[in-house]
């Protein structure tokens, strides 16, 4: 008997949306400042993980909670483990929302909330696919482990802890990217650029502060600079002319001899910086035309001359293109400057095979000047990952996608990093449909409800075939 996967998926629509709404109401941003013994990554991630596992307990699955940083939903039995990899954490909501990011709103066939497309919506689609297989009693001859992390958007503490104490799947996919498939992921590293001390010297203006960015994997939407001194009489006119010419919003507020200049661009996922409008580099480029103190001038000059409007790293000398994996991308995402404190820039780089984090670090420092800055890898770098298009895993997933959508399947490499890369035979598979707007990490994030239901159908057939 042939299963009508989409017809079966549609039967779960109301229940799925109820469960998804419950998950989306939880602000599950990683929050170690408020960690506890029971919530090592913060209360939100732990709460979202518990809620996801509670859904599975309700539906009769076997579950496991690993120290409130990761979890597992288990079904089936066999010698091999087929893995699904999702995550319950979200990036910060950030500014610019038309609605409350943690009060889901359904409008025009879409569900709006932080995490709707990354990754609670796709994860709940994969969960309901597994539930469908269980409810239909379809034959399964492998163990299925749906592994859930709680800090995929940052340091991967949860998934790494899981793999320290639990067996890794033999193969599998992460519902945390786009269709038709992601079987290649670029390497990811963040480089901390720190300005070396510069002797003070009097100037017309002193940059007393410059801040921008909320995460190293998000193009900053807002930036702010504080300035001491007397601004030129036409400063605000110049600012508004610059803003109009570059399609950004800017304003200046003065209080005696202190001015605060703010600029608003457009946030985006750092995997493709040119989708966003980097508020920090635009603000620095505007301010670079004025007479600032030596430290302030150097900070602004480095941003304006080497980082502005250059998503491929040409100005830094790190540009690189691989025939299979495509271009390196560079996104300066966090900025901190004060006269007596940190003067840093965090640059998030997604790099293809053929180069590595050490070469990139050396070149950034050489370009900016070893006598001006020091550069270090912030945290750990993740090398490029690729699963051959000839692998049966890739072939099966593409076949399912083509059969259910009528669209052509093809290999794809992205700059984003997913849990698919934690095992050798791991890929990312959906749930963003081709030609859909990618609003991950942006204000007013949403996912089309019909796409979620279609993903349930695609995932169910794929899991059924791969775990048979």
**Partners of residue 65 on adjacent β-strands:** 71
Burial (CB < 10 A; 0-12, 13-18, 19+), residue 289, is exposed
Helix axes 13-24 and 43-58, enclosed angle (nearest 10): 160
- Determine which one of 27, 89, 151, 310 is catalytic: 89
Distances (CA, A) of 88 to 122, 171, 177, 291: 10, 21, 14, 47
Angle at 379 between CA 39 and CA 264, to 5 degrees: 85
How far separated are the first and last CA of the chain, in Å rounded? 16
**What is the 3 state secondary structure string of 125-164?**
HHHHHHHHHHHHCCCCCCEEEEEEECCCCCCCHHHHHHHH
Name the residue with tokens 């992921």. Answer: 185
Which of 8, 29, 151, 152 is the catalytic position? 152
Nearest to 287, CA basis, from 406, 189, 173, 203: 203
Asked if residue 431 has a cis previous peptide bond (ω within 30° of 0), the answer is: yes
Query: What is the number of other CB atoms lying within 10 angstroms of the CB of residue 1?
Result: 3
Q: Determine whether 152 is an active site residue.
A: yes
- CA 267, distance to chain mean position in Å, is 11
Strand, helix or coil at 262?
Answer: strand
84-111: b (≥16 Cβ within 10 Å) or e: bbbbbbbbbbbeebeeebbebbeeeebb
Q: Could you tell me which residues are beta bridge partners of residue 427?
A: 173
How many angstroms separate the CA atoms of 72 and 76, rounded? 13
- CA–CA distance, 252 with 185 (Å, rounded to integer): 41
For the CA atoms of 219, 368, 311, 339, the dihedral, rounded to the nearest 10 degrees, stands at 20
Active site residue 309: no
What residues are annotated to the active site? Answer: 89, 152
């Amino acid at each position: 008997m042939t299963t009508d996967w989409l017809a079966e998926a549609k039967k779960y629509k109301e229940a799925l949306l109820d469960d998804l709404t419950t998950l989306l109401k939880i602000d599950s941003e990683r929050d170690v400042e408020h960690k506890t013994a029971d919530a090592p990554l913060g209360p939100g991630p732990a709460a979202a993980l518990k809620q996801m596992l509670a859904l599975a307990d309700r539906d009769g699955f076997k579950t496991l909670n690993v120290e409130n940083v990761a979890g597992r939903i288990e079904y089936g039995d066999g010698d091999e483990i087929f893995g699904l990899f999702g995550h319950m954490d979200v990036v910060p909501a950030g500014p610019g929302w038309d609605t409350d990011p943690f009060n889901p709103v359904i409008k025009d066939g879409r569900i709006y909330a932080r995490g709707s497309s990354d990754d609670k919506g796709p994860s709940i689609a994969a969960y309901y696919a597994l539930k469908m297989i269980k409810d239909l009693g379809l034959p399964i001859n492998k163990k299925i482990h749906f592994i859930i992390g709680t800090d995929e958007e940052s340091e991967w503490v949860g998934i790494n802890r899981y793999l320290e104490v639990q067996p890794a799947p033999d193969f599998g996919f992460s519902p945390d990217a786009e269709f038709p498939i992601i079987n290649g992921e670029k390497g990811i590293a963040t480089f901390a650029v720190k300005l070396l001390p510069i002797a003070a010297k009097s100037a017309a203006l002193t940059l007393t502060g410059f801040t921008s960015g909320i995460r190293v994997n998000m193009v900053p939407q807002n930036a702010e600079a504080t300035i001491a001194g007397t601004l030129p009489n036409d400063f605000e006119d110049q600012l508004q002319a610059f803003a109009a010419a570059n399609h950004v919003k800017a304003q200046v507020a003065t209080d005696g001899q202190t001015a605060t200049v703010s600029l608003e661009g457009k946030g985006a996922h750092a995997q493709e910086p040119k989708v966003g409008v980097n508020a920090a580099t635009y603000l620095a480029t505007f301010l670079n035309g004025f007479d600032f103190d030596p430290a302030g001038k150097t900070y602004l000059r480095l941003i304006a001359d080497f980082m502005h409007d250059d998503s491929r790293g040409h100005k830094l000398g790190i540009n690189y293109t691989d025939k299979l994996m495509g271009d390196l991308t560079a996104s300066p995402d966090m900025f901190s400057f004060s006269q007596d404190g940190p003067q840093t820039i965090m640059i998030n780089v997604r790099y293809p095979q053929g180069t590595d984090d050490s070469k990139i670090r050396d070149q950034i420092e050489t370009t900016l000047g070893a006598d001006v800055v020091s550069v270090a890898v912030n945290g750990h770098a993740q090398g490029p990952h690729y699963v051959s298009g000839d692998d049966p895993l890739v072939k099966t997933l593409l076949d399912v996608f083509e059969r259910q959508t009528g669209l052509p399947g093809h290999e794809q490499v992205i700059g984003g990093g997913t849990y698919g890369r934690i095992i050798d035979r791991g890929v990312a598979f959906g749930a963003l449909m081709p030609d859909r707007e990618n609003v991950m990490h942006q204000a007013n994030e949403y996912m089309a409800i019909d796409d979620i239901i279609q993903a349930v159908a695609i995932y169910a057939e794929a899991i059924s075939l791969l775990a048979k």
